[in-house]
Amino acid sequence: MNERSIACVQVADTDAELGVERPEKYSAGAQLTLGQFWKGADALPAERAHAFVGASAAGLCFYVYLEDSDIGSRATADNQKMWTLGDVAEFFIKPGGDRTDYWEIHITPNDFLMDIYIPNREVFTGGEIGWEDVVAPESHTGKRVGVGDGYWALEACIPWKAFRLSGIPDDGDIWRIAVCRYNYASGCDEPELSSTAALTQPGFHRYEEYTELVF
C-alpha cells in the first residue's frame, strides 16, 4: 500500500520484535510498501519491503522488513557513503511545512549508520555546501538490526531533540517522510531502488512527493 497521507500513531518505547513482518508495537499504523512508483502506480521491486512509522515519547520510530536474497555491505564504520557500499535502508524526515531542513539517515545490514542533516536542499544540491558540511551531525538515532534467512529487518528511533523539539509534535502538525532502499545483488553493478514515497522520478530528495505524516 502506498499512502500519500497517514496518521502518525503513538507507539511504546519498548523494542519491536525484530524479524516479524508486522510487529505488534506498530499494529495500529499503516503499512507502507516500498515501490518503484516512477515506473507506474503498481510497480514493485523484485524483492519486496515494507515499513511502519510511529511516535514514541523518545522520538520518531521506524520499523522496516526487507526481503533480500543477497545481503551485504562493505561498510566498516559509521558515516561512510553507505549507498555506494551495498544494501542500505534510508530514512528521510522533513519536519513541518515551513522549514527547509531535513534528515537523511542510512542503516546497513551490518549495523552501521550514516547521518546527514541538510539545512536547505537547494543550497546543498547547488554545491554551496558540500559533503563535509552535512555528514555526521549526530542525530543520536538508536537502531537495532537483525538478519535472517532471506530477509533483514531493523528498528530505528530518531530523538525529538534532533528536530529541535522536546517531545511529540502538536496534534495536526504535518511532516513528510520517505523510507527508501538500495538493494544490491551479487554480480549486479546497479542497485535496485525503491521507496515508500510516490516519487515521479527515482530521486530520493524529492520531498514534495514524500508521504505526509499527520500527528
Q: What is the pLDDT of residue 187?
A: 62
Containing 47, the helix (H) or strand (E) segment is none
Burial class of 21 by CB neighbour count within 10 A (0 to 12, 13 to 18, 19+): exposed
DSSP code, position 169: P
| Nearest by Cα to 196 from 24, 10, 31 | 31
Q: Count the helices and strands in the chain (H runs, E runs).
A: 2, 13
What would the mean pLDDT of 48-72 be, rounded to a whole number?
A: 97
Beta carbons within 10 angstroms of residue 32's beta carbon:
24
Quick: pLDDT tens for 170-188.
999 999 999 999 999 876 6
CATH 3.20.20.70 describes domain 5-214: no
153-167: pLDDT as tens digits = 999 999 999 999 999
H or E element: which one contains 123?
helix 121-125
Is the Cα dihedral 131, 176, 13, 83 positive or negative?
negative
pTM comes to 0.95
Position 120, amino acid: N
Q: What is the mean pLDDT of the chain?
A: 94
Q: What's the confidence (pLDDT) of residue 147? A: 97
Cell digits of residue 27: 499494529
Tell me, what's the pLDDT at 125?
Answer: 83
191, burial (CB in 10 Å: exposed 0-12, middle 13-18, buried 19+) = middle
| Cell matching residue 157 | 528511533
Distance CA 194, CA 211 (A): 14
For the stretch 7-20, pLDDT in tens is 999 999 999 999 99
